[in-house]
Structure 1
Amino acid sequence: MKLKMVLVGVATLLFSHSSFSLAAPNSAQKSPAVGKKPNVLVLMFDDMRFDTFSYRGGPVPTPNIDALAHSGTRFDNAMTTTGLCSPSRAAFFTGRWGHKTGLDDNVGLYHSRVDELSEDEGGVIRRAADAGYNVGYVGKWHLGPQGPALRGADFMWGKEHAQPRHSRPYVPYEKQSQMAKYRHGERDANGEKHEYYQTLPGTYETSHTAENVHMGQKMLQEASKKDQPFFGVISFEQPHPPYRVPEPYASMFDPKTVKLPANHAVKRQFKPMAQDEDWWPWHDVSHMTDMDWRKSRTFYYGAIAMIDHAVGEIIQTTKDVGMYDDLTIIVLGDQGSMLGEHDLYDKGPYAYDELMRMPLIIRAPHIEPRIVHKQVSMLDIAPTLGDMMELTPDGDVDGRSLTALMALGDKADDGRVDKALYAYEWYNGGWFGIRALRTPEMKFVWNPGDNRDELYDLKNDPIEVNNLIKDKAYTEQLRHMVQLMEDELVRINDPSIEKFRYQMAGYRSSAGKSQAYKVD
């Protein structure tokens, strides 16, 4: 109770009194009033990896995203909850795991079990609307048609926001024939493979990304005229695969010289069987040449450069309409994506860092810039917004507010152990039940639908090639990770806890095996 009171006090101090701004003053901008609720803008990107930006030493110059990183709090070890769009987004808006919200699979796609996030799960959008915020939402939602409107949003734009509810799912029939052509050596226009990479006709201004920006600008312009605090989301479908960009982004990076990671196209050895399955037609990468992989990567880099340009336009608009000085800006990706690491493309039921880690920046104008190295979760953002915006709670949350870390950095004593839990319960109707527990040193992956779990030494094998689950030299580390995972499953009331305890008996025994659960 005492710790909770301290954290509430920190949040109140940080977000109720805007004492100074990190941005240069602009004569058109309004001076924030003491005690005024903050305006908040979320810039969300789809399948955006953590490791590409120039502020992280990555290969893509990203000056606009870098500027936000340098003026805000960088969470350099932020983890998504699930490497899948709908579950990760549900966790973002609610702060709860899928076993509590009922949303632990994609919606609206082939084999999806659920159509939408329950209306009972109002999340941050409904809480903000109920608190008197002017709420806007532009772009991808992927939690069921008309979701923001059902939760009280005032401004909405995007195809999902006008779709009828409970539509028939998307099924990739046409992709099957496309893959057959690729396997027979055929290519698309310009010798490309548009299910992986494609040069789009037109320019940035004719792209869907630019359309998102223009509607986001309209939302900001309208919000600036209202006498209400503002909460808005601009959600981009980029850089989700396939990587399709117009010039100059399509040829911005040279595929012949692009650097490939050490785990690129490595043969998977001693890994769970699910990683060998093609869950969508484009997961069959047997036809991909070295140059195909290189172009997929450079087109992804081009998409990141285009996104950075889009961010710059949005930030300029916030300055033009007088919102920037008093605006908290959150930049994040819903999860990462595979670009050939472990010979995998897109996403699937596994827990590699390229998929599990995500970028997260929170630029609050009255907080000193800093880098936080402790692991944090997608689940932590909703309670952080609740603190910032003084929102009424809407039930228990599994995440923990980031306000203390934003104020004090890694030295903040907020009671959290430096670990992150990740889950892959379902993948488009297929059950896996995967749980992964990550510390700065180790990662343990429980695969309850397989008899082969995973253990990685992240210090000595950061690319997660060598599965050490049977290595007796790591017996103590394995037991420690099992206990950390059990503690976290208990904390969040995970319904899989009894199955976990039963299957972990072998790891806890001195022999390292159990008749109840034979480890392959």
Structure 2
Amino acid sequence: MLKINDITNASSAGAFVVKKGFGAILAVTCLLGAACSSQSVEEGGLQPVALKEAATSASTQNVADKPNVLVLMFDDMRFDTFSYRGGPVPTPNIDALAAQSTRFDMAMTTTGLCSPSRAAFFTGRWGHRTGLDDNVALWHSRQTGLKDEEGGIIKRASDAGYYVGYVGKWHLGPNGMAKRGAEFVDTYKKELEEHERQGAPYGRMAQTKRYLAGERDENGEKNQYYLTLKGDYDDTQAAQKVRAGQEMIKSAAKEDRPFFGVISFSQPHPPYRVPEPYASMFPVDEIDEPANYMAKRVNKPLSQEIPWWPWHEVSHMTDNDWRESRAHYYGAIAMLDRAVGEIIQTAKDEGMWDDLHIVFIGDQGSMIGEHGLYDKSAYAYDELMRIPLLVRDPDVEPRVVNRIVSLMDVPVTMAEWMDLKPDGAVDGDSLTPLMLKGDSAITDAEDDALYAYEWYNGAWFGLRAIRTQDYKYVWNPGDERDELYDLKNDPGEIVNQIDNPDYKAKLLSLRKRLELRLVEVEDSSVTRLQRLIELNS
């Protein structure tokens, strides 16, 4: 039986559950980071527990030569902060990984929301197929979890004889990792329990009202946005997940089976909370805000004016508050870089590094004042849509790929590595051709990514978007107003060209391109888009 143990050390006491491994393949999704307040509603305010079970006597026949795979996943990690990308945060460990990997510098998520993007990652299918197209167990969402029959890559790896481990955030329903065959599980108590009711943000609302009244938290901070934690790195939730991940890797090293593991960090998801020295590592007066910082939202969908979560109400935020939030986010990235270095060192110490395949990935990005927005909601701005993606295959020469790829392509690639049997529809494409041949492996006509935002915590939007190298079209069927951005001339997506007659031909072209992608993945919303195209042709 799985054994549940409460973790009582200081690093775990304040850890939150994110709503939402391996010898030869490592996948990283934005989850490494500092401990979060136990009062957090969105993240659950939950105490972590460890689930550990001795390895079973599963047959190892015909699996000994399969690669080990580790997924490192981070929560709400943006694409633009690392030093290997020319960003403001020194990230030597992530940079070193990037130097040994295929860098997918134009990777896109499927949905800018935790549960749907994770469901896509672990199943390789869009939400209209799996039914998981909203956050799980939050506020008025109708979702309680990913259906058990959606076994996904975890179950497929287990069925193929892999020793499977999972550490950290899941946010796809109670005990879903163990149900799918994970033998080593270290997660949070709430991730194991059936959800009697959806969590509502009463505490967040109370905090927002205090900020609107001019009040602040201890040390003049706003803890819904940024907080300097007490203690140091070793006291954080991120460090606890590193320790659990190290234990998982050591356990896997003793196995005579191949290993598939996930270490899923709950950082740098807002609020941005880090201890010293990370909290003051980036002086506020030296923070450069982007060109679209607090850009006026002109001719944008009405939904962008509505706070769908209490901390989306940002009228109380000063320029200094925004800079502090960004500085603490940068601190979280620096702290996660340390975490990545410690995990990699353990893999080396255990003799698993040389043939380790690694996928380093964020589930989606986050807004820190761009367009005057915070966190995430139903929009498709690049700060939310673009994600970091590094893929290390020791048998493939490192390179930089600038073609557009999707988070949906990663499970296809990992299944190819591990020679896993299919378990249903496949909505992504293997990244292997791009890893072997670079940008020339695909044609310009294929150089785009589909994005969907069906629901946000119980509110329907039905948004679909197509992103090419130079343009982005956002279809908003729940609004009278779509969006069209000329990314070459307006990378900050400030000016919506949807009504500009000079872009009429481009708009029609992009709508038809979106139609093609929706047909390919059998998305029934395409019939509504086709009516729109017919009426406007």
Report the residue type matching 1:79 in the other structure: M
Quick check: 1:75 aligned with 2:104? yes
Quick check: 1:391 aligned with 2:427? no
CA displacement, residues 286-329 of structure 1 (integer Å, 9 cap, x when unaligned) = 00000000000000000000000000000000000110011111
What CA distance in whole angstroms lies between the structure 1 residues aligned with 2:103 and 2:393? 11
Quick check: 1:450 aligned with 2:479? yes
Quick check: 1:438 aligned with 2:441? no
Q: Where does the alignment leave 5 or more consecutive residues of structure 2 unmatched? A: 1-23, 25-61
What CA distance in whole angstroms lies between the structure 1 residues aligned with 2:252 and 2:196? 32
- In the TM superposition, what are the counterparts of 1:474-485 in structure 2 within 5 Å? 474-485=503-514
- In the TM superposition, what are the counterparts of 1:224-303 in structure 2 within 5 Å? 224-303=253-332
Select 1:379's aligned residue among 408, 413, 416: 408
Q: 1:35 to 1:213 in 2, by over 3 A?
A: closer
Aligned residue in 2 for 1:106: 135
Cα displacement (A) at 1:345: 0.1
Quick check: 1:64 aligned with 2:89? no
What CA distance in whole angstroms lies between the structure 1 residues aligned with 2:330 and 2:448? 30
- In the TM superposition, what are the counterparts of 1:196-211 in structure 2 within 5 Å? 196-211=225-240
Aligned residue in 1 for 2:347: 318
Deviation above 6 Å: which 4+ runs of structure 1? none
What CA distance in whole angstroms lies between the structure 1 residues aligned with 2:320 and 2:177? 42
What CA distance in whole angstroms lies between the structure 2 residues aligned with 1:89 and 1:395? 17
Cα displacement (A) at 1:145: 1.3
What CA distance in whole angstroms lies between the structure 2 residues aligned with 1:162 and 1:378? 23
CA displacement, residues 339-368 of structure 1 (integer Å, 9 cap, x when unaligned) = 000000000010000000000001111110
Q: 1:290 to 1:413 in 2, by over 3 A?
A: closer
Report the residue type matching 2:205 in the other structure: Q
DSSP 3-state at the match of 1:118: coil
Q: 1:453 to 1:415 in 2, by over 3 A?
A: closer
* Contact 1:175/1:281, CA 8 A, preserved across alignment: yes
What CA distance in whole angstroms lies between the structure 2 residues aligned with 1:281 and 1:97? 28
Quick check: 1:401 aligned with 2:434? no
Aligned residue in 1 for 2:166: 137
What CA distance in whole angstroms lies between the structure 2 residues aligned with 1:80 and 1:113? 22
Aligned residue in 2 for 1:368: 397
- Larger mean CA deviation between 188-197 and 475-484 belongs to 475-484
What CA distance in whole angstroms lies between the structure 1 residues aligned with 2:74 and 2:434? 23
Quick check: 1:150 aligned with 2:150? no
Cα displacement (A) at 1:34: 12
Aligned residue in 1 for 2:377: 348
What CA distance in whole angstroms lies between the structure 2 residues aligned with 1:290 and 1:478? 36
Q: 1:490 to 1:34 in 2, by over 3 A?
A: closer
Q: Where does the alignment leave 5 or more consecutive residues of structure 1 unmatched? A: 1-17, 19-32, 509-520
What CA distance in whole angstroms lies between the structure 2 residues aligned with 1:349 and 1:422? 11
Quick check: 1:410 aligned with 2:466? no
Aligned residue in 2 for 1:359: 388
Q: CA RMSD in A?
A: 1.5
* Contact 2:454/2:461, CA 8 A, preserved across alignment: yes
DSSP 3-state at the match of 1:324: coil
What CA distance in whole angstroms lies between the structure 2 residues aligned with 1:361 and 1:199? 30
Aligned residue in 2 for 1:219: 248
What CA distance in whole angstroms lies between the structure 2 residues aligned with 1:405 and 1:189? 50
- Larger mean CA deviation between 414-423 and 173-182 belongs to 414-423
CA displacement, residues 422-449 of structure 1 (integer Å, 9 cap, x when unaligned) = 0000000000000010100100000001
Cα displacement (A) at 1:475: 1.1
What CA distance in whole angstroms lies between the structure 1 residues aligned with 2:253 and 2:344? 14
Quick check: 1:49 aligned with 2:78? yes
What CA distance in whole angstroms lies between the structure 1 residues aligned with 2:228 and 2:236? 12
* Contact 1:50/1:336, CA 8 A, preserved across alignment: yes
What CA distance in whole angstroms lies between the structure 1 residues aligned with 2:121 and 2:187? 19
DSSP 3-state at the match of 2:452: strand
What CA distance in whole angstroms lies between the structure 2 residues aligned with 1:160 and 1:85? 18
CA displacement, residues 219-240 of structure 1 (integer Å, 9 cap, x when unaligned) = 0000000000000000000000
Cα displacement (A) at 1:266: 1.2
Quick check: 1:195 aligned with 2:224? yes
DSSP 3-state at the match of 1:487: helix
Q: 1:427 to 1:279 in 2, by over 3 A?
A: same
Cα displacement (A) at 1:202: 0.3
Quick check: 1:488 aligned with 2:534? no
Aligned residue in 2 for 1:503: 532
Cα displacement (A) at 1:195: 0.2
Q: 1:414 to 1:165 in 2, by over 3 A?
A: farther
Cα displacement (A) at 1:382: 1.0
DSSP 3-state at the match of 1:66: helix
What CA distance in whole angstroms lies between the structure 1 residues aligned with 2:465 and 2:178? 34
Cα displacement (A) at 1:463: 0.3
* Contact 1:142/1:160, CA 8 A, preserved across alignment: no
What CA distance in whole angstroms lies between the structure 2 residues aligned with 1:35 and 1:198? 47
* Contact 1:145/1:160, CA 8 A, preserved across alignment: no
* Contact 2:279/2:331, CA 8 A, preserved across alignment: yes
CA displacement, residues 11-59 of structure 1 (integer Å, 9 cap, x when unaligned) = xxxxxxx9xxxxxxxxxxxxxx998211011100000000000000000
* Contact 1:271/1:452, CA 8 A, preserved across alignment: yes
* Contact 2:111/2:117, CA 8 A, preserved across alignment: yes
Cα displacement (A) at 1:114: 1.2
Quick check: 1:335 aligned with 2:360? no
Aligned residue in 2 for 1:124: 153
Q: 1:374 to 1:151 in 2, by over 3 A?
A: same
Cα displacement (A) at 1:161: 7.2
DSSP 3-state at the match of 1:385: helix
What CA distance in whole angstroms lies between the structure 2 residues aligned with 1:447 and 1:486? 14
Aligned residue in 1 for 2:30: none
Cα displacement (A) at 1:94: 1.0
